Chains A and B, each alone.
Chain A
Amino acid sequence: QKEVEQDPGPLSVPEGAIVSLNCTYSNSAFQYFMWYRQYSRKGPELLMYTYSSGNKEDGRFTAQVDKSSKYISLFIRDSQPSDSATYLCARQAGTALIFGKGTTLSVSS
């Protein structure tokens, strides 16, 4: 079910940059959208989730869903070296999660 497409990167930015990570999806029959963060050699962990459309902000992170264009975005302000990780977008499909392939981000100091 390739219903969540994500550019794998890698993406390299300097410390302090604004980062934009994006996904597109094809099935509009679901409402929860998530961003998971995965550090090297670790399991993914939930970073943010949004219900339906609109924005959700948590500190330096903003998750955005545009249902009209089927676009999911994660913005990171004032990026830090500790943000270096792989970011996975996901959507909820009934009892399952469908993940994008992940975008690897590297923030250099």
Chain B
Amino acid sequence: EAGVTQSPTHLIKTRGQQATLRCSPISGHTSVYWYQQALGLGLQFLLWYDEGEERNRGNFPPRFSGRQFPNYSSELNVNALELEDSALYLCASSLGTGRASQFFGPGTRLTVL
């Protein structure tokens, strides 16, 4: 069974540009979570989507947004990129919510120059 996949693997942008990151969950998983792992800051929760709806978001500005498609894949958009947005962006999926285990993809390394 395929795990969570993310694309692209690496993304290099300049300050002020927009970035789009993509995630495909494990087949059958309906919940998708996005996390940011910046150097020295650990994993921080960004967004949670379930059944196509945004259910919760972390303490990030509105320029971080996303959506979940009918096939449960998801997209994270970051507008007006800033240097401090450089990080590993991780997507996780789970079978439903509550106590369900979250399985992570390999991540997208975003570098903002």
Specify whether A and B are partners: no
Where the two chains meet, the residues of B that have a C-beta atom closer than 8 Å to any C-beta of A are none
Where the two chains meet, the residues of A that have a C-beta atom closer than 8 Å to any C-beta of B are none
